[in-house]
Amino acid sequence: MIGHKMPILLALRQTETVFSFLVRWRKWQGFLSESYLCQRLYAKRSIRLHPYLPPQLAQIGEAIDVLPEHLLLNHTLFPLFALFNQPKRNVLKSRMLHAGNSVISSVGIPHAQIPVKFGHKWCPLCMQEDMQKLGFCILVIEHQIPGVIACAKHSCLLQFLVCGQNAPDRGLKMKLVNPQVVFSGERAANFSAFCCDVLALAKEHADINVQEAYTEQLISNGYITNSGRFRMKRLEQDFYSEVLGSPHFLELDVVSFLKKKSFLGPMLRRKTGYPAHPLKHLIFSFWLFNGDSTKLILRSHKGCRKALQAKSVECVNNEILDLLRNGMSMNHIEVNVGKSRCYIRRLAELNGIKHQSNAMKYPESTRRAVQIKALMGKHRQEIANELKVGIGYVEQVISNTHGLAAYRKSLRMNVALKRAQNEITGVVKRNPTWNRTQVRAAAQSAYSLLYAKNRELLDSCLPKPIRPSPPKKKVKTVKRNQK
Ligand SMILES: [Zn+2]
């Protein structure tokens, strides 16, 4: 029976929890007993499934024809836990896919004794909608985020199917009674929506650097000084007065627990810090980013920002080139775009656009002559003297020709290396009995230049290395001591 394609009614719903699906599966697929299903899936007589970090997903995935990675990403809170504890990402993944129970303890996710109510959560209004639309109820992963007490969609309090000792979750049963709908308050619903957004971001971008995002926002809010020190006292005061003051968006037990001891220092300090429970991160980032989860990614994606900056440079350059081609004077362009005339002239010359500045007063042949002499590695002053032009002109031509400055730099390095090689060879020739250490002492700077830039060349001109001799035994001194 296991491995068959599922009828539509049994298909795994979007973001449905694994527990919810297995409950439905057992019921609709008509397994004779729960233990039969457990035996086939887990090789155990009974199981207790974690609401958001269920184990052995590879086996479940295979049984229901779904990729285990898909289960992991969309039907568990793996993305969230991995986001806030990146070093453990791979361990957590492999444990959730292949290991038996005890995923949480084995990967060392600090549960941190936060007294969150533990159980499968569900929203009564979502349930009613499901019943009308589908004819059955499902639990969704967004509601299972630890600490979240409200449905983001309906702003009502979530209900609990309590887990743990002697609780009814032992086994694949879901007894949901129709409860009273209680309004959760706007703040709790906003927090819930924020958490859902973070979960969605964590699914899309595995490489978000949370610490970097925090740091940047803390700097811009003035909680980190220019020298990189935390203004921890101020931060704690502001955070606790705003977040843990009323109206509450967390369970009261959690609030009083968090009030006991600040968790900000260990969570934020890089050297002395340690991983914190995702709930702490969620509460802190909800406050820090003012409920805007996108700041987590916009601020942390250095690569994106660099690309944006590079793009803006390109835009400016294109704008300048357009204006130059339209014949606008450099003065005007400088005022409009905000780039120096030197920059504009360089751009014009690199792109072969003629302009009216002093640099164009010499004919093209002089320009070519400067370039050729520069290629030969002649000094700027020498070129200026030979061609009877100003040294400024020579410098401009060199810097405004693609790759010429870099080439001249490499030439200078070659000359310095050659000189250093000659110096060392001379020292070795004059003192044929010297070892390497003595040569190094005699030509210190030449030696270090070659050591840093071209180790092979250095080796080729030094005498052969002496084999290191083992240290002499200190037998004599020991004997003397004994005497
Ligand atoms: Zn709802």
373, part of any domain: no
* 251 CA to centre of ligand 1 in angstroms: 18
368 in any annotated domain: no
- Distance CA(42)–CA(449), nearest Å, equals 65
What lies within 8 Å, CB to CB, of 244 at 6+ separation is 255, 258, 259
Can you name the residues that pair with 16 across neighbouring β-strands?
140
CA distances from 368 to 42, 354, 381, 412, 424 (A): 79, 15, 17, 21, 39
39-53, 178-192, 428-442 — which is least confidently predicted?
Answer: 39-53
Question: What does pTM read for this prediction?
Answer: 0.60
Lowest-pLDDT range, 7-11, 156-160, 286-290?
7-11
With respect to residue 306, please indicate whether it lies within any of the assigned structural domains: no
Report whether pLDDT(481) > 70: no
Q: Report the C-alpha gap between 180 and 196 in whole angstroms.
A: 24
Residue 311 lies in a domain: no
Cα separation, 195 vs 84, whole angstroms: 13
- Range(s) of the domain holding residue 451: 406-461
Residue type, 436: R
- Of the residues 143, 167, 187, the one at which a domain ends: 187
Following DSSP, what letter does each residue of 425-459 receive, concatenated? HHHHHH-TT--HHHHHHHTHHHHHHHHHH-HHHHH
**What's the pLDDT tens digit per position in 193-250?**
999 999 998 988 888 888 888 888 888 888 887 667 788 888 988 888 888 776 678 8
Report the range of poorest mean pLDDT among 91-105, 130-144, 162-176, 187-201. Answer: 162-176
Domain assignment of residue 398, yes or no? no
Domain for residue 175, yes or no?
A: yes
pLDDT at 308: 44
Q: Cβ of 63: how many Cβ atoms within 10 Å?
A: 17
**CA 140 to ligand 1 centroid distance, Å:** 10
> How much distance in Å is there from the Cα of 409 to the middle of ligand 1?
67
Give a yes or no: residue 318 inside a domain. Answer: no
Residue 48 lies in a domain: yes
Answer for the pair 446, 424: CB distance below 8 angstroms, yes or no: yes
How many whole angstroms from 201 Cα to the centroid of ligand 1?
Answer: 21
User: How many angstroms does the Cα of residue 185 sit away from the middle of ligand 1?
Assistant: 13
Domains contained in the chain, number: 2
CB 191 within 8 A of CB 148: yes
Last residue of some domain: 187, 217, 232?
A: 187
Decide if pLDDT at 416 tops 90. yes
